[in-house]
Amino acid sequence: GEEIFNTYGEVSNLHLMHMYGFAEQYPANGHDVVEVPVVRLLEAAQELGQDQTLTSKKCALLKEQAIIIDDDVLVINKDGFVSDEVCLQILKVLAFSQQEFDDYVEREGWSDAESEASVVDDSALSF
């Protein structure tokens, strides 16, 4: 007889487990990803001692600006964050002090020059 190969395409272990009930052993799947719920970043900000009211305001602002939605996730693959810009925007806002946050809200965001000047090199978000 002939050997038959079944391929499931270029999908992550998460997808394989969800759809087919198995996953490939690490590091065999080069298409594997990790999904980090944005809510975990918000929880981490609070665990680091950030005021809950300030964190809630930041979250509301990020939602208002359509940067995040309630069940949003950040996707990380072997090359780093898939959505670098969104991740950077979330982390910037979460890192603001009360005064920086108030200034940001007053200016209704940052200018293109500020955004470009303060963006971290892509390599800082890569693994």
Name beta bridge partners: 73: 37
Give residue limits of the domains in the chain: 35-119
- How far is the C-alpha of 114 from the C-alpha of 61, rounded, in Å? 18
| CA dist list (Å): 81 to 19, 75, 99, 126 | 24, 6, 29, 7
- For residue 46 the two structure tokens come to 């609070």
Cβ neighbors of 89 (< 8 A, separation 6 or more) are: 62, 67
Q: What is the pLDDT of residues 13-71, one digit of tens each?
A: 988 999 999 998 888 888 888 889 988 988 888 888 888 899 999 999 999 988 888 88
Cβ pair 75, 83 in contact under 8 A: yes
Would you report the helix, strand and coil content of the chain in percent, each value rounded to 5?
50, 10, 40
Looking only at Cα atoms, what is the longest distance across the chain?
Answer: 73
Q: What is the pLDDT of residues 72-124, one digit of tens each?
A: 889 888 888 888 888 899 999 999 999 999 999 998 776 654 554 444 444 44
Specify the pTM. 0.68
- Report which of 59, 64, 62 is spatially closest to residue 42, judged by C-alpha positions: 59
